[in-house]
């Protein structure tokens, strides 16, 4: 146990990213890195990502969500549309996704705009979840104040009985968001704090790739 956090130091040495190896397509670069992280092992939830939003109170807020899909359109996660993040996105749809993968010393930061996914996408994903998670989504009016834990447990019990042997319907206020990127940054830890950073930003219909100082 350390009290002096100054002594936490690490010399990054797992890899590099350079002008020759960086992919012209940021989605492909993400795919390669995501595979590398999974293959390297040692990270429990490689798809855990910090989603930052700008709140209706003007403050930014980050919280972890699970990335459930990515494709050439962008990055998908699922949540309650009436949660704090849902309300924030309704007002300010500009968001940021940040991944940190300590096993191979990489960070990816994606700025983009969030939009709700189609009802059929949300329904399909909801239907694929274990029944316990489906009922949990029904029970939890995410981000509202509740008096105690019992209200959740009691509601869950009641719903378990209600939906015994039946399909659980997706709550209306629950579904997916697609984050369409406008900027990516790939960060690879390197020795002596001289890390590799490459940023992709949209110019017209093209991605411009630039190296940033660490
Ligand atoms: C590892 C991990 C995964 C999570 N995955 C999700 C998720 O996919 N969707 C979600 O709504 N909340 C998820 N949460 C909970 C959120 O971090 C957050 O507490 C919740 O969404 C309410 O956030 P809000 O009040 O800012 O809207 C996860 C938390 C952790 C630590």
Q: What is the pLDDT of residues 66-120, one digit of tens each?
A: 999 999 999 999 999 999 999 999 999 999 999 999 999 999 999 999 999 999 9
What per-residue confidence (pLDDT) applies to 14? 87
Ligand 1, residues 46, 57, 61, 65: which to mutate, most atoms within 8 A of Cβ? 65
- The answer regarding whether domain 11-116+176-211 maps to CATH 2.30.30.90 reads no
Alpha-carbon dihedral sign for residues 85, 81, 83, 76: negative
What per-residue confidence (pLDDT) applies to 95? 98
Cβ contact 134:175 at 8 Å: no
Q: What is the pLDDT of residues 125-148, one digit of tens each?
A: 999 999 999 999 999 999 999 999
pTM of the predicted protein model:
0.96
Helix pair angle (131-139, 150-162), 10° resolution: 120
200-204, long-range: CB < 8 A, 24+ apart: 200/26, 200/29
What per-residue confidence (pLDDT) applies to 56? 94
Residue 13 reports pLDDT greater than 90:
no
Per-residue pLDDT averaged across 140-157, rounded?
Answer: 97
Q: What's the gap in Å between 196 CA and the centre of ligand 1?
A: 30
Question: pLDDT grade, residue 1 (50/70/90)?
Answer: confident
Give CA–CA dist 141/8, Å, rounded.
40
Q: What's the gap in Å between 48 CA and the centre of ligand 1?
A: 9
Write the residue with the smallest CA distance to atom 17 of ligand 1: 64
Give CA–CA dist 194/184, Å, rounded.
19
Domain boundaries, the chain: 11-116+176-211
Cβ contact 214:197 at 8 Å: yes
């Amino acid at each position: 146990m350390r009290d002096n956090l100054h002594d936490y130091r690490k010399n990054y040495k797992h890899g590099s990213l350079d002008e020759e190896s960086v992919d012209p397509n940021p989605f492909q670069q993400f795919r390669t890195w995501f595979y590398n992280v999974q293959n390297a092992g040692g990270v429990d939830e490689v798809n855990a990502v910090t989603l930052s939003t700008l709140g209706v109170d003007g403050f930014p807020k980050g919280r972890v969500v699970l990335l459930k899909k990515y494709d050439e359109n962008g990055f998908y996660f699922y949540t309650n549309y009436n949660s704090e993040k849902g309300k924030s996105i309704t007002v300010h749809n500009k968001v940021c996704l940040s991944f940190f993968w300590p096993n191979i010393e990489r960070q990816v930061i994606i700025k983009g705009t969030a939009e709700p996914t189609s009802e059929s996408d949300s329904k399909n994903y909801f239907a694929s979840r274990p029944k316990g998670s489906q009922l949990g989504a029904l029970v939890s009016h995410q981000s509202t104040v509740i008096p105690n834990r019992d209200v959740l447990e009691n509601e869950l019990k009641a719903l378990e009985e209600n939906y015994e042997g039946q399909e659980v319907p997706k709550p209306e206020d629950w579904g997916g968001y697609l984050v369409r990127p406008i900027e990516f940054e790939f960060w690879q830890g390197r020795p002596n704090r001289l890390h590799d950073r490459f940023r992709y930003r949209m110019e017209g219909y093209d991605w411009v790739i630039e190296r940033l100082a660490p």
